[in-house]
Structure 1
C-alpha cells in the first residue's frame, strides 16, 4: 500500500507539481507496460515509498505517469510537456492561472452563445398569436396599450404551461418572448380597429354586432359571449364618436375612457350600466344580435384558455388600482 508524503517533506518543496503528486500518490500505480522507456532506465517508476517521491526533482516522470493514467488530447499532452519544461514555480503557477482564466472565458462565451442562439419556436409563435388575439378580444381587458397587455399574455401562457417558454429566471429570452407578444398585440389591435371601422359602412355585412363578433372571432380560440358583444359596442361607440381622431390616437382614447369610467364609477353596477347603455344604443342603430347567426356562449362554460385570459386581462394596472374606490357588487 502506498503511503502519503510526509507533511514536513512536502512543506520543503515550493513546486506546485509536488503538491499535486502528493495527492495522486494515495494509490499504487499500475505495473510498467512493456516498451515504456524512461530517460533514466535504471530508476523504477515512483510510487513505492515516500523517499522515492520526495527525491523527484524533475517533473518529467510525473508528467509521463499522468499521461499514462489519463486519456488526454494531443493539445493537453503538449501543455503538460510545456509545464514539465518549466523550472521555476512562478512559471508553473502563471501557466496554471492562465489556464483557469481561459476556462472562465470559455464558460462565459458558451453561456452568452446559448442566450444569443435561443429562438422562438414555430409552435411558440402560434401560441403567442393565439394568446395575443385572445386578450385583445377579451371583454374584461382594462387597457389595450402599454406594457400591461404583453405581461398579462405572458402570465396567462405561463399559468397554462405553454410549451417552449423559457424558464421564469431566463430573463434575456423572456424579453424576446415579450417582444414577439407586443408585435402580435399590435397586429391584433389593428385588425380589430379596422374591422370595427369597416362595420360602420352602409353596405357592410357586419353592421350587426353579432355578425361583427363572428368575423372577429373566426379562426381564433375565442368563444363570443354576451359580454364580448357589449365590449364591441363600447369600441364601436368610439369609432363613431371620435371619427376625426388621428389613427394612432384611437386606442389611447379607448384606454382613456376605460380609466375614466373605472375611477368615476364607484360601484360595479354603475360601470356595467354605462357599458350596457352603449350596447342598447348599438342594437337600436345597427340591429339586434339575435337577428344574426351568432349564438353567444355562456361565460360559465368557457374553456380554460379563455377563462385564464379574461382573468389576467381584468387585472387593473397600478395607477388605476391606486385611484379606484369602487365597491364590488356581485
Structure 2
C-alpha cells in the first residue's frame, strides 16, 4: 500500500587479425585439410614424388608442400567445383566468394593476383570491425535518448530491469546511425556501458536539482523553475505531464530525507509500483498524480506564474513518442527493505510509470 494513497488518492479529494595471404605464401602451415580438386588423380607433377598419392586428399590432416601440388592442366569447371567446396567449408564473405568464383573461371596468374588483392581488402575491412570505436555522433545520440528516457512521465522505473537494453532498443527502432549490429556482442556491450554512464550521471543531476528545490531559499522551488533546471542539459521542452512526474519525484524526496543517495531511486521505483498497484484504473492513477501536482503548486508555487511555457502532448516529436512508449515497458526491480540491493548490469552505478502520452518535445 502506498504511503501517499490516503492523502493523494481519488477518495481524498472531493587480438591481431591474420593475413588472408597466409595460406598462399606459407607452404608449411599445419591443419589445412580438404580434398584435392575433383579431377585430380593424385600428385603427378614433375616436382613431387611420382604416384605418392593416387586419390583425392579427403581427410588429409596436414597441408601438402607446394612442390607436391599438381602442376598439370586442370579444367575451369573442375576449379569452379573445387571453389564451391571451399566456399562451403570456410566462413568467407560474399565479396570474397565472388572473387574466388571469378578466379576459378580462369586459371591464370593474373587471377591469382586479383584474388589476393580482394582478400587483403576483405581482411582490412575485418580489422576495422575488430577495432570498432564509438563515434562522437553516436555518443551524442546516446545522451539524447537516455536523458529523454529518464524524463518520460510514462517511465515504469528509474532503475528498472534492463532499462539500458530498452534504451538501445528504441534507438535501433529509430534507426540511429552508427549502432553496431546485434550480432556484434562486444560492440553492443560498449554501447550499453555508455548508456549506463549517462543513466547514472543524469539521475544524479535530477536528484540534485530536486533536493536543492526543497530549500526555503531555493530559486527553483516553483515546479516550473525546477523542471526547467532539470531539462536544461537536454534542450527539450516539457508538457504538463512532465510537471506531474517531477512533482511526484519531489514528494518522494521530501518524504525520504534520510534515504541514502544510492537508495533514493530504488525507493522511488517501489513507491511508483505501489501507487500503480493500488489504483484500480487509469483514471484513478491520473487523478492521483494530479492531486500530487495540485499540492505541489500550493506549497511551492504555481508554474503559471513563471516565464516557462509547456507544449501540448500531441505536439511531441515522433522519436520522443517512441521513447515514451518504450519507457512504459520498464519494470521495477523490487527488493525487500533492509536487504542490500544487488548490483546488476554493466555500469548502472550509484544512481539510477504509464500516464498520458506525449511528454517531452524538442524546442
| Shared fold per TM-score greater than 0.5 | yes
Shift of 1:201: 1.7
On the 8 A contact 1:115/1:173 being kept in 2, the answer is no
Matched, 1:208 2:194: no
Q: Which residue of 1 aligns with 2:212?
A: 198
Query: What is the CA-CA distance between 1:140 and the residue it aligns to?
Result: 0.9
* Contact 1:134–1:221 under 8 Å retained in 2: no
Q: Does residue 1:126 correspond to 2:112, yes or no?
A: no
Q: Cα offset for 1:207?
A: 0.6
- Going from structure 1 to structure 2, the CA distance change for 1:98 and 1:219 (only over 3 Å counts) comes to farther
1:283 to 297, 300, 303: 297
Equivalent position of 1:77 in the other structure:
none
Show the counterpart of 1:218. 232
Determine whether 1:60 maps to 2:46. Answer: yes
Q: Aligned partners of 2:161, 2:127: CA distance in 1, in Å?
A: 28
Q: What's the secondary structure of 1:223's corresponding residue?
A: strand
CA distance in 2 between partners of 1:190 and 1:318 (Å)? 18
Distance 1:209 1:198 in 2: 12
1:137–1:86 distance in 2 versus 1, CA, 3 Å: farther
Q: What is aligned with 2:197? A: 183
CA gap of 1:85–1:113, structure 2 versus 1, over 3 A, is: farther
2:89 is aligned with 1:89? no
Per the alignment, in what secondary structure is the counterpart of residue 218 of structure 2? Answer: coil
The 5-angstrom pairing of residues 22-61 of structure 1 reads 22=39, 58-60=44-46
By relative contact order (CA 8 Å, sep 6+), the higher-ranking structure is: 2
Give distance in 2, aligned partners of 1:188 and 1:144: 11
Rounded Cα–Cα distance in structure 1 between residues aligned with 2:332 and 2:218: 40
Distance in 2 (alpha carbons) for counterparts of 1:171 and 1:275: 41
- 1:94–1:246: structure 2 CA closer, same or farther, 3 Å change rule? closer
**Residue 163 of structure 1: CA displacement?**
0.2
Deviations 1:107-159 (A, max 9, x none): 9xx79966652222111111001111111111110100034321221121111
Higher helix proportion (structure 1 or 2): 1
Please report how far the alpha carbon of residue 213 of structure 1 lies from its aligned counterpart in structure 2 after TM superposition. 1.2
2:173 aligned partner: 159
Rg larger for:
1
Aligned residues: 249
Q: How does 1:251-330 map to 2 (within 5 A)?
A: 251-317=265-331
CA RMSD of superposed structures (Å): 3.6
Aligned equivalents of 1:254, 1:94: Cα separation in 2: 63
Q: Is the 8 A contact 1:208 1:283 kept in 2?
A: yes
**TM-fit CA distance, 1:314:** 1.3
Secondary structure, counterpart of 2:237 in structure 1: coil
Given that 1:222 and 1:306 are in contact with CA atoms closer than 8 Å, whether structure 2 keeps it comes out as no
What TM-score, normalized by structure 1, do the two folds share? 0.66
Give the TM-score normalised by the residue count of structure 2. 0.60
Counterpart CA distance in 1 for 2:65 and 2:323 is 54
Q: Distance in 2 between matches of 1:105 and 1:97?
A: 22
1:106 deviation in Å? Answer: 11
**Cα 1:173–1:21 shift into 2, 3 Å:** closer
Distance 1:167 1:291, change over 3 A: same
C-alpha distance 210-98 of structure 1, shift in aligned 2 (>3 A): farther
- The residue aligned with 1:173 is 187
